[in-house]
Amino acid sequence: MKFSIYQESRQGPRKANQDRVAYCYSRDALCMIVADGMGGHLHGEVAAQIATQFIAEAFQRQAKPQLEDPFRFLFDTIMNAHLAIIDYANERGLLETPRTTVVCCIVQDGLAYWAHVGDSRLYLIRDGRIVVQTKDHSRVQMLVDSGRIREEAVAHHPERNKIFNCLGQMAPPKIDLSRPTALRHGDTLLLCTDGLWSPLSGRLICEALLREDIMSAVPNLLDLAESRAGPDGDNLSVIAMTWAEELLEDGDQWISTVEMDPNAYKTTVVQFGRTSQGGQEGGYLSDEEIERAIAEIRNAIKKHSS
């Protein structure tokens, strides 16, 4: 595989960053995960951490060097991450279960497979156009589908944050799976939370990626999203990956897995309570609370890992 990849998570004006991002790759497969712990629900950052860490660790165990069935992997790991979140809440006796959205994408054999729950999105951008965009599990998306509002009104609608499908909810989540999608040279997959896409139109995102590569364009888009959202903004997180059939001249930013050991993997999972690239932890947890949360997250994940 040959690709360029960039990830960043920013706290924005919120008191804490409840978003989590991670990517892992082996010689023949790549896994990208973005989760948005839901504000208004207790311990949203814990739910997002469990989701990203659970999926990433499952990928590390199973991609040797690729997954046997990417769609089965996506469905099983997302559902088991949901169960791990439920177990975490039960063990702690929480009256309200932590909740999170998630979008996850697997790339192997030149094909992309993705799944999502909630309103964290995936865009497939080709030649300056969005050729695929996931459909949010939200109240406003239902209004768009019924023709009651236009797509352009979603970002400013008063009910835009009402999500009806997430991990950690009482009922099992509805996991939307894509079709296997062949990637072309220069295609960009962009996974993000609503903190990024809400203030920015799809056209603006595409124009930025036409002008610059992801290493420059994505930080600029994050800056613009923060500026436009202002003091009412959200956490904002993104992973962007550009696919290549051959390495380009600016080779420093491109990854080639051709010479990797078939049993090796590389990962960027950020542990709970640690500062992520471009982001800040709010400092509202003590070291003791962080260590206790890490142990409880580990126990919840272990129960549903095989």
pLDDT tens for 221-277 read 999 999 999 998 999 999 999 999 876 555 668 899 988 999 999 998 776 765 444
- Given a cut of 80, is residue 289 above it in pLDDT? no
16 versus 251: which is more confidently predicted? Answer: 16
- Given a cut of 70, is residue 181 above it in pLDDT? yes
Q: Residue 276: its pLDDT value, please?
A: 44
H/E run at residue 61: helix 44-62
Q: Report yes or no: 23 and 52 within 8 Å, Cβ to Cβ.
A: no
Q: Report yes or no: 9 and 20 within 8 Å, Cβ to Cβ.
A: yes
Count of alpha carbons within 13 angstroms of residue 139, beta-carbon side: 8
- DSSP state, residue 17: -
Mean pLDDT of the chain: 89
Count of alpha carbons within 13 angstroms of residue 94, beta-carbon side: 19
Q: Is 270 helix (H, G, I), strand (E, B) or coil?
A: coil
Q: What are the structural domain ranges in the chain?
A: 2-303
Q: Is 26 helix (H, G, I), strand (E, B) or coil?
A: coil
pLDDT tens for 113-135 read 999 999 999 999 999 999 999 99
DSSP E strand boundaries for 144-291: 176-177, 181-182, 188-192, 236-243, 255-256, 266-267
User: The domain 2-303: what is its CATH number?
Assistant: 3.60.40.10
pTM, full prediction:
0.92
